[in-house]
Structure 1
Amino acid sequence: MSARGWRLLGGWALALLLALAFAALGRWQLARMHEKEHMLAAAAQARSQAQAQPRPLLLASDPARVQAYDWAEGRGVLADATVWLDNQQREGRVGVRMYCVLLPEDGAQPLLVDAGWWPLGGDRALPAPGCPRMVDQAVRGLLAPPPAEGLAYGAPLARQADGRWLAVRLDLPAIAAALGLRTRIAPRVLRLDPAHRQGDTGVMLAPGQRDLDILPNTLTPERHLGYAVQWFGLALAALVTAIVLTIRSRSR
Structure 2
Amino acid sequence: MSPVKPRLPRWLLWCVAVIAVAGFAALGRWQYARALEKQALLEANARVLAERDPRPLRTEAARDATALAWSAGEGRFLDAPALLLDNQLQGGVGGVRAYRAFMPEGASRAVLVDLGWFAVPQRTRMPRPARPEGEVRVRGLLATPPAPGIAMGVAVQALDEGRLLAMRMDMPAISEGLGVALAPRVLRLDPDLDVAGLDTGRRDLEVLANTLPPERHRGYALQWFGLALATAVAALVVGLRRPSR
State the TM-score, normalizing by the size of structure 2.
0.89
In 2, Cα distance between equivalents of 1:49 and 1:106:
26
**What's the counterpart of residue 113 of structure 2?**
113
**What's the counterpart of residue 40 of structure 1?**
42
Deviation readout 1:74-105 (Å, 9 max, x if unpaired): 11111123111111122332210010111111
1:22 aligns with 2:24: yes
Contact 1:137 1:204 in 2 (8 A): no
**What's the counterpart of residue 84 of structure 2?**
84
- Which runs of no fewer than 5 residues in structure 1 stay unpaired? none
Counterpart of 2:20 in structure 1: which amino acid?
A: L
Q: How many residue pairs are counted as aligned between the two chains?
A: 239
Provide closer, same or farther for how the CA distance between residues 249 and 205 of structure 1 changes in structure 2, counting only shifts above 3 A. farther
Contact 1:139 1:203 in 2 (8 A): no
**What's the counterpart of residue 163 of structure 2?**
164
| Deviation (angstroms), 1:6 | 6.4
Counterpart of 2:91 in structure 1: which amino acid?
A: E
Deviation readout 1:113-164 (Å, 9 max, x if unpaired): 001001121435312x413153422211100011111122333211113531
Deviation readout 1:61-83 (Å, 9 max, x if unpaired): 212xx220000111111112311
Matches for 1:50-199 after TM superposition, within 5 Å: 50=52, 53-58=53-58, 59-63=60-64, 66-80=65-79, 81-127=81-127, 129-161=128-160, 163-181=162-180, 184-196=181-193, 198=194
Counterpart of 1:41 in structure 2: which amino acid?
A: E
In 2, Cα distance between equivalents of 1:140 and 1:82:
19
Q: Kindly, what percent of the aligned residue pairs are identical? A: 44
In 1, Cα distance between equivalents of 2:157 and 2:239:
60
Counterpart of 2:44 in structure 1: which amino acid?
A: A
- Which runs of no fewer than 5 residues in structure 2 stay unpaired? none
| Deviation (angstroms), 1:251 | 6.7
| Deviation (angstroms), 1:212 | 0.8
Contact 1:100 1:131 in 2 (8 A): no
In 1, Cα distance between equivalents of 2:99 and 2:175:
13
Poorly superposed stretches of 4+, deviation over 6 Å: 3-6
